[in-house]
Amino acid sequence: MNMPALVVPPETPTPLPEDDPTGAATATIKERGLAGYISPFKVDLDAVRAAKTPDSSSSYQPVPHGDLYDRVRIELEWAGIGITEEMHSLYRGGDRYIGLAITDLKSPQNDAEVVVGWFNSHDHSHAATLLLGERVMVCFNLCLHAEIKVCRRHTKHIRRDLPGLVAQAVDRVRGRVDEHGDRMDRYRAVELPERGAHHLVVRLVEDGALPAGSLKPVLREWRQPSHPEFAEAWNVNRLYQAVTGQRAPLSQMALRHRSLHRVMDEWCDEREGNARRA
């Protein structure tokens, strides 16, 4: 079933009174590189629970923001996954809500951790949506994979269906973490010369995974990585880190990483095939 990706409202919302102007409450998360992926208008969980929920009708049954957060947290706990850090943001006077959390579920190589993002609305603009994916810990890149997502419109039986949908997504994420580790091992093993990096970056721009304005910053990071760990070898992983290290709205993450993995996997397939024929 095709489901839309998490969409961050493009408009600039009016900040709420509960906002923390000093940013002290989220200083740790900002240091970890998540602040650029969520609205600057952050609130605490009490403000999320206090947001007014519209009245239900026979065809429209909105879920309170706090209930969606509780459901995500419960399913993670039942799966043995803890939340180490989280942040919340309200838009449009509290009608729209975005949450983002870092979990303690990590890849076997300990180079990625699972991030959970969720979105809810009370103005008929979006379905209740959940995305799960990995974040590379060295560069603090956020990688939300489109395959691990659920969304449910605020219609009849949403309260009945939502727990099962969230539970299914949480169950799937463990396999994705192992898959991520295998993919990173493969990217580290396949060489990528300068000409090949240029070719892949252009393909990503053509695919819409990268804006044209990111071409130069990506190639600059590819040539001179900010982290010395990635400067040790000219391989596919080096370019992967250069691409995912570029900031992007949360709404674009799913598209970026679908395209990124497709392009890089095809490069690896071709090079490994050539090696076998040789």
For residue 6, the model assigns a pLDDT of 35
Tokens of 37: 């992926």
> Over the range 98-123, which residues count as b (16 or more CB within 10 Å of their CB) and which as e?
bbbbbbebbbeeebbbbbbbbbbbbe
For residue 141, the model assigns a pLDDT of 53
What CA–CA distances, in Å, run from 69 to 2, 93, 129, 195?
23, 18, 11, 46
Low-confidence stretches of the chain (pLDDT beneath 50): 1-33, 137-140, 144-146
Amino acid letter, residue 87: M
DSSP-assigned letter for residue 7: -
Contact 152, 172 (CB under 8 A): no
For residue 269, the model assigns a pLDDT of 93
DSSP-assigned letter for residue 170: H
CB atoms within 10 A of CB 188: 16
For residue 231, the model assigns a pLDDT of 83
For residue 40, the model assigns a pLDDT of 61
**Which residues does 155 contact at the CB level (< 8 Å), separation at least 6?**
59, 60, 61
Contact 95, 82 (CB under 8 A): no
For residue 244, the model assigns a pLDDT of 81
For residue 267, the model assigns a pLDDT of 93
CB atoms within 10 A of CB 74: 14
For residue 70, the model assigns a pLDDT of 93
Please state, in angstroms and rounded to a whole number, the distance separating the CA atoms of residues 58 and 52.
19
Contact 192, 236 (CB under 8 A): yes
Q: What is the pTM of this model?
A: 0.61
Radius of gyration of the chain (CA): 20
Pick the closest to residue 126 from 3, 272, 262, 271 (CA basis): 3
Angle between helices 215-223 and 236-244 (to 10 degrees): 130
CB atoms within 10 A of CB 131: 25
CA dihedral 234, 210, 138, 81 (to 10 degrees): -130
- Summarised one tens digit per residue, pLDDT across range 207-262 is 877 888 888 999 999 999 888 888 888 999 999 888 887 776 655 666 677 788 88
